[in-house]
Amino acid sequence: MWEISGKDCKQPSYLFGTFHLRDSRIFNFPDSVNILRNKCSVLAFEIVIDKSDAKELLAQIMETDPNHYLDKILSKSDYKKVKKAAKKHLDIASNMLLDKMKPIILATQLFESMSKNDVKYPMDLQFQMEGRELGKIIVGLESIESQMQLINKMKSEEQIKELMMSVDSLETSPTVINQMVNLYLNQNLDSLNSFLNSKSTIDSSFQEDLIDNRNIVMTKQLTQFYLKEGSCFVAVGAGHLVGEKGIIELLRKQGYTVRAVRSSFSKN
């Protein structure tokens, strides 16, 4: 949790690094998270999703060209491995849509399936739902379309590579997830950044689009529309906060004061 103040802020806003998983361990928030979130009138997220977006989102992650369906772009042996993994680890709906699913989306689903998944919704979505119940203004710093355009920029060969790496590493994925969760709970951004960089296999130019350029877009949205009035609780993936090109440093370079908020827990 970070407090944003100074420059043209009439009152402080707060920046919180989330983790896009359904693992109950990461939902044991420091007391300051809920206190400051409830204090703010505006909640800002990477994207905002509601029920009306579900159909559009599904259409975006599906391949429309039959020649690019999974059974057409994978070798027979790889396709067999993917089907076996999906049948074992994914739900019925995902298996029914398997051939039409874009490889990078499927790779992400398989990786996330190795988490505990003992909470119904990921953290960001849970915050959004609770925010609506509290009558907060909910805003997105990006659009679903922009995120899907980014995914569509990733070459098919790269997506296939990520998918097969995900399938081949399913046995070790729980260990990787546990390491990530522990680093997150220790609130050490530098260590988390180093770990994420050591595990990344994505092409550097796509990585720039995936993280760095989006950080610029989200920071611009914040500084233009939400920080001046203050009372904004910003919740974005913790990976967007870290490093010289992270949102924290981008805000500081624009003259804002960004300081860590001391976190305490009322329970273990």
pLDDT tens per residue, range 41-84 = 999 999 997 766 666 666 677 888 899 999 999 999 999 999 99
Residue 101: which of 129, 62, 132, 64 has the closest Cα? 62
Sheet with 13-18, edge to edge strand ranges: 137-140, 42-45, 232-237, 13-18, 2-5, 257-260
**Does residue 15 belong to any structural domain of this protein?**
yes
CB 38 within 8 A of CB 231: no
User: Does the pLDDT at position 25 exceed 60?
Assistant: yes
Q: E strands of 147-225, at which residues?
A: none
Q: Quick one: pLDDT band at residue 147, thresholds 50, 70, 90? A: confident
Q: How far apart are the first and last CA of the chain?
A: 18
Report the percentage of the chain scoring pLDDT > 90: 62
> How many structural domains comprise the chain?
1
Greater pLDDT, 161 or 230: 161
For residue 265, being part of any structural domain is answered with no
Q: Is 33 among the domain residues?
A: yes
Inside any domain, residue 181:
yes
54 within a domain of the structure (yes/no): yes
Q: Is residue 246 part of a domain?
A: yes
- pLDDT category, 17, cuts 50, 70, 90? very high
Q: Give the pLDDT band of residue 164 (cuts 50, 70, 90).
A: very high
Per residue in 221-240, pLDDT (tens digit) is 999 999 998 899 999 999 89
In order, the DSSP letters of 52-105 are GGHHHHHHHHB---GGGSHHHHS-HHHHHHHHHHHHHHS-HHHHHTGGGB-HHH
State pTM to two decimals: 0.88
Query: What is the CA angle 197-215-179, rounded to 5?
Result: 30
Look at residue 110 in the predicted model and tell me its pLDDT.
95
Q: Which domain holds residue 114?
A: 2-260
pLDDT above 60 for 266: no
CA distances from 106 to 171, 193, 230, 237, 246 (A): 17, 24, 39, 20, 27
How high is the mean pLDDT of the chain? 89
pLDDT band at 203 (very low <50, low <70, confident <90, very high): low
- Is residue 18 situated within a structural domain? yes
Mean pLDDT on 74-102: 94
What does the pLDDT average to over 82-100?
A: 94
Say if 267 falls within a structural domain. no
* Number of neighbours of residue 268 by Cβ within 10 angstroms: 4
Q: What is the C-alpha to C-alpha distance for residues 4 and 265, in angstroms, rounded to an integer?
A: 22
Whole-number Å distance between alpha carbons of 36 and 109: 32
- Residue 111 identity: F
Structural contact between residues 41 and 199, judged by C-beta atoms closer than 8 angstroms:
no
Choose the weakest-confidence range: 36-45, 190-199, 216-225: 190-199
Residue 186 has pLDDT above 80, yes or no: yes
